[in-house]
Structure 1
Amino acid sequence: MDSSPALRTRWLASPWGRGAAAALAGAVPALTFPAPSWWWLAYVALVPWLLLVRSAPTFGRAALDGWLGGAGFMLAVHHWLLPNLHVFILVLALLLGALWAPWGLLVRALLGGAPRAGRCAAALVLVPSGWLMVELVRSWEYLGGPWGLLGASQWQVPAALRLASIGGVWLVSLLIVAVNTAVAELVAASAARPPAVAGLLVCALATTAVWFWAPVPRPAGTVRIAVVQPGLTGTPTQRLARSEELTRSIAGRGVRLVVWGESSLYQDPTDRPALAARLAALSRRTGTDLLVNADAPRIGGPGIYKSAELIGPDGLTGERYDKMRLVPFGEYIPLRSVLGWATKVGRAATTDRIRGSHQVVMPVASAGGLRIGPLVCFETAFPDMSRHLARDGAQVLVAQSSTSTFQGSWAPQQHASLGALRAAETWRPMVHATLTGVSAVYGPRGERIGERLGTNRSAAAVYDLPLAEGTSPYARFGDWAVHGAVGALALSGAYVGVRALSRRPARARR
């Protein structure tokens, strides 16, 4: 006699066993992101977690299953931070995982017990909407930002990128969770099969309609851009020398802009005339402007900035962008007076960086006035920043990044993949240049252009970047998918409230 079902039942009946199952189920979606990049798994990855939450004996247990699953998800998606934050990453995972507790309540309310067809149909809308609210809240930069949004796992799927051009990464997340909810209904409830099948058909038809009839960007020529990736070169002086050597190697190839990675300079050329003259001479030799990045204190300033600066043949052009959204603990410590102890248990920032005040669109003289929108590292995770640059007239999005601390982890590949989504959302090509890899370039539809420079490369790569005209629906209409999710949740809450009030007089009469 096979006793495995009985063993599973006893294991899930144990609070510790059920908690471990929830954390493991929550961690499964992390496999959809690079490096594994099992994008296809995203459409069923939430099913074990959904089934576990719906089977919770009480609403309190459902909230706990949601919390522990969220903690497992956050820990799995950010596991590469463990060498930096040590035990503090567990604290962060538990704090952020609590955002999924209300989602657990929602799943239990809609799918728990033996739900009828109406409740199952509502779940196909409300469960994805609840998930999106969690993604929205945790995307706040002070809570860690939008790293690991479920929709971002589809960065290499053309149909998903087309959806992103309509409603951003948020719309892709909604679709993925809706499919997972429908599959969970098919597995768990016989009454749910008609609405679940209908929901799957709606998702398939909507994706097909977008693929065939959604607008696409209009081609507008090309521009030749080079990315310089010096690799693990040792000291800042050695890095600068290697970057100059690689930049000189592309002279005479018709390049209109050379992009260096984040923190390519540890002195600010604004305050170092000799360094500015050295870079200007390099610009004259190659016949192109240089977009460099300084991680340095500013003379007379309040502290250290991370700044994208444009250098031309005559020196500094005056075009400068200071990074606005900083990495919590990596570039500053929130509430340092309270949480400053994090520097003693991991490699947290010993000195806080200073935030910039506004985004900038830079004209590049050597590229005929081409307008570029710079982003620095972590900022490529924020859909609103690239959308605002596109609306402000940027023709190319340029990201300068450095993930050298996380070489050998999933972080470099996952970070580079975000460029595909930002390009597809805005219809603007994206250049993702790093110090040590992965560097990559994407066209206006999110398609990859040319070779990716991996973490084992020290090289300069030249790309013929396709430009595009037009405004994507997402750039034009913004986060309408998020607003729709909020509206759906608000309407359902109002409906439940009205029903509760209408029943109260009836109970009072009895």
Structure 2
Amino acid sequence: MPDQPPAADPYAIVPTFWERQSEWVAAGVVLVLTAVLAVVSFPPYKIPEAAYAMLVPGIFWAYTRPRFKVYAWTMVAAQAVAWTLILGWLHHVTWFGLILLGPVVGAWIGLWYLAAWWTLPRMLGRPTMVRLPALLGLAGVWVLIEWTRTWFLGGFPWLPLAASQWQRASILQVASYTGAYGVSFVLVAVNIGFGAYAHRLFREGETGLRKRSQEFFLAMFLLLVCLSIHVQEAFNRVRYTVPVARVGFVQPYIPQDVKWDPAKGPGILAVLQQTTQAAAATRPDLILWPEATTPWAVKGDANARAFVESLAQTAKVPLLIGSVAVENPHAANEQWYNGAFVVDPAFGLQSTYYAKRHLVPFGEYVPVRPVLGWITKFVPIGEDFATGLDSSPLVVPLHRGALTFGPLIFYEDIYPALARASALAGSDVLVVLTNNAWFGEGGAAYQHAANSVLRAVETRRPVLRDGNGGWSGWIDEFGSIRATLVNGDGTIYFRGTKTLNVTRDARWVGRYSFYTAHGDWFVAVCAALAVFGFALLKVGVRSPE
């Protein structure tokens, strides 16, 4: 007679549906919370405090030792969803690029959670002097991932975690020593501190003084260090404020569907003339135009050059403009550059100009053209643009004397190394000329401006931003947004002009910040912390029960 299956125990406790599906319920809750917190941490949302808890759901879950595949897929999926939403403005240019780039960036950032899954359960029961270095090492891993985003596959370091705090200058000042990486490091440490404290309260069942979490205390200490630097730097700042210039910002807001249409060229010039004359009427020392403003190249097209020179002469004000340079026109070695130019009212277009150093793939050039030559650029002028190699500033003659401006064109301000090189080359002021009108009136302009705030603090240089339609304004060397161009309806997206009185802190005139002088030293420290924390967890002993 075949074996009969054992009879069911009528007294056995039958797990509920939620108990049987607890792992998947946890995965769903963590995925949603992580994605939502990540999205609202960054602009255009105004909830930067969410960045202090953005990682907590995944951290708390990792402490409970979920299965690796479930955890890994959940956290990578959460980041992929979040970054597809964060970069949603990209659909104005390319849906394919959004669908590809969002998940790739999210997955790359999501790799951090794999380190968290390995590290956090191994911290339980370990001595304090093992757990705290492990925490620092895990924060260091986040910094290493952000650093690789600056160069891997050409680099796209859009919105590091530090950018979530672009309107909270009090925590940003450490960036003048460590770069923005230091701010991200502290934010990750705070997230781990909150996660560790939550686990101690709700999972470990500790009572009394044993509820205390040393991880939380370390995170609060790091946060207080950031705040103390702010207090030191901000104290009596008004005493050191000196004027720089009255700067007129021109926002022509030229629609992208007409920008490169030759038939629309005269109309674009009329807009530039009208807005520039309006700016000149406010008696500025300098007038800014955004990126690639003119419909023809000011260097390479005689009519375009004559137009800007005549306009500067009529306005009696120097112009610092974004336009295009064509070297060796109509020759076999013709080269196009996306550049920044100075037009002097007395001497005309300066012979020296700035050429953009980091080009946009598929926008200004097609990478690996022998393979991908069938793909066309979405900027429909010329062939592939050439890459600039020089970070030397532009010298602009002003009423108070010559001033040096370090241009950054379009998204060059998301690269810390480019802004640092401009500061090292002698720039008194960084100026970002951009054309964010490609990306509609969503969050792109605000997200882009957040990166400029980080560059201001890192280099201790004021940053002037002039966009085709927004975000335009002035950020001081401490990352405080001193002015933003808005119209009567309170929107940054408009055609018009405004003149601002720009100042700077005399203590930083002709002086390099620690980060400018020493570069990415903190990245090396984070690598050492990650290795040290890993080693301690591999060979360390647990605390006695």
User: What amino acid is the match of 2:417?
Assistant: D
What CA deviation, in whole Å up to 9, does each residue of 1:106-137 have, x standing for no partner? 21122127812545423421221111111111
| Residues 306 and 23 of structure 1: CA distance in aligned 2, closer, same or farther (over 3 Å) | farther
Q: CA RMSD in A?
A: 3.1
Deviates more, 1:369-378 or 1:402-411: 402-411
Residue matched to 1:195? 214
SS at match of 2:174: helix
Task: Between the two structures, name the one with larger relative contact order (CA 8 Å, sep ≥ 6).
Answer: 2
Residue type of the alignment partner of 1:491: F
1:229-378 map, 5 Å:
229-232=251-254, 234=258, 235-251=264-280, 253-295=282-324, 297-298=326-327, 299=329, 300=331, 301-313=333-345, 314-338=347-371, 352-367=384-399, 368-378=401-411
Change (3 A) 1:12 1:58: closer
- TM-score normalised over the length of structure 2: 0.82
Structure 2 match to 1:18: 27
Quote the Cα distance in structure 2 between the aligned partners of 1:27 and 1:237. Answer: 46
**Closer, same or farther in 2 for the Cα pair 1:175/1:150, shift >3 Å?**
same
CA shift, 1:38, in A, is 1.1
Amino acid at match of 1:490: V
Structure 1 residues 37 and 349, CA gap change in structure 2 (3 angstroms):
farther
Look up the match of 2:3: none
Amino acid at match of 1:81: L
Cα distance in structure 2, aligned partners of 1:9 and 1:143: 46
Q: Which moved more, 1:292-301 or 1:177-186?
A: 292-301
Q: Mean alpha-carbon deviation: is it higher for 156-165 or for 47-56?
A: 47-56
Compared CA separation, residues 30 and 123, structure 1 to 2 (3 A): farther
Contact persistence 2:162–2:183 (CA under 8 A):
yes
| Deviates most, 328-337 or 456-465 | 328-337
Displacement of 1:97: 3.7
Amino acid at match of 1:255: P
Residue number in structure 2 paired with 1:505: none
Q: How far did 1:478 drift?
A: 2.3
Measure, in 2, the Cα distance between the counterparts of 1:316 and 1:285.
Answer: 14
Q: 1:195, 1:74 → 2: CA distance?
A: 32
Alpha-carbon separation, structure 2, partners of 1:381 and 1:236:
31
**3-state SS of 2:502 partner:** strand
Q: Structure 1 residues 50, 407: CA separation in 2 closer, same or farther (over 3 Å shift)?
A: same
The residue aligned with 2:248 is 226
Match of 1:443 in 2: 476
**Alignment partners' CA distance in 2, 1:8 and 1:333:** 53
Instruction: Using the TM superposition, give the Cα deviation of residue 338 of structure 1 relative to its aligned residue in structure 2, in angstroms.
Output: 4.7
How far apart in 2 are the matches of 1:62 and 1:357? 44
CA distance in 2, matches of 1:385, 1:8: 53
Residues matched between the structures, number? 493
Extract unaligned runs of 5+ from structure 2: 1-15, 259-263
Asked if the contact 2:243–2:501 (Cα under 8 Å) also holds between the matched residues in 1, the reply is no
1:68 equivalent among 57, 65, 77: 77
Pick from 58, 73, 98 the counterpart of residue 89 of structure 1: 98
- Structure 1 residues 264-273 or 96-105, which shifts more? 96-105
From 404, 408, 413, give the equivalent of 1:380.
413
Q: Deviations over 1:156-205 (max 9, x none)?
A: 11212322223221111111111111111111234784213322331233
Q: CA deviation at 1:297?
A: 4.7
Task: Give the whole-Å Cα distance in 2 for the aligned partners of 1:54 and 1:142.
Answer: 33
Cα distance in 2 for residues equivalent to 1:184 and 1:342: 47
> Does the CA contact (< 8 Å) of 2:134 and 2:534 recur in 1?
no
1:483 aligns with 2:524: yes
Distance 1:21 1:305 in 2: 47
Distance 1:82 1:144 in 2: 20
Residue pair 2:33, 2:57 contacting (<8 A) in 1 also: no
The change in CA–CA distance for 1:267 and 1:78 in structure 2 (over 3 A counts) is: same
| 2:514 aligns with one of 456, 459, 473 | 473
Tell me if structure 1 keeps the 8 A contact 2:134–2:530: no
Per the alignment, do residues 369 and 280 of structure 1 end up closer, same or farther by CA in structure 2, a change over 3 Å counting? Answer: same
Shift of 1:104: 2.4
- Distance (whole Å) between structure 1 residues aligned to residue 242 and residue 444 of structure 2: 33
SS of 2:231's equivalent in the other structure is: helix
> Are the structure 2 counterparts of residues 45 and 336 from structure 1 closer, same or farther at C-alpha, using a change threshold of 3 Å?
same
Distance 1:162 1:175 in 2: 12
Give the corresponding residue for 1:30: 39
- Rate the CA distance shift 1:275–1:342 in 2: closer, same or farther, 3 A: closer
Relative to structure 1, the CA distance from residue 296 to residue 27 in structure 2 (aligned partners, 3 Å threshold; closer, same or farther) is: farther
- Equivalent-residue separation in structure 1 for 2:218 and 2:20 (angstroms): 31
Over 3 Å counting, the alpha-carbon distance change for 1:114 and 1:467 in structure 2 is closer
Listed one character per residue, the Cα deviations across residues 318-375 of structure 1 (whole Å, up to 9, x for unaligned) are: 12111111223333343345556776xx958895332112212111123521011011
Does 178-187 or 265-274 show the bigger shift? 265-274
- Give the corresponding residue for 2:135: 124
Q: Which amino acid aligns with 1:245?
A: Q
- Check whether the contact 2:355–2:388 (CA below 8 A) recurs between aligned residues: yes
Secondary structure at 2:222 match in 1: helix
Higher-Rg member (1/2): 2
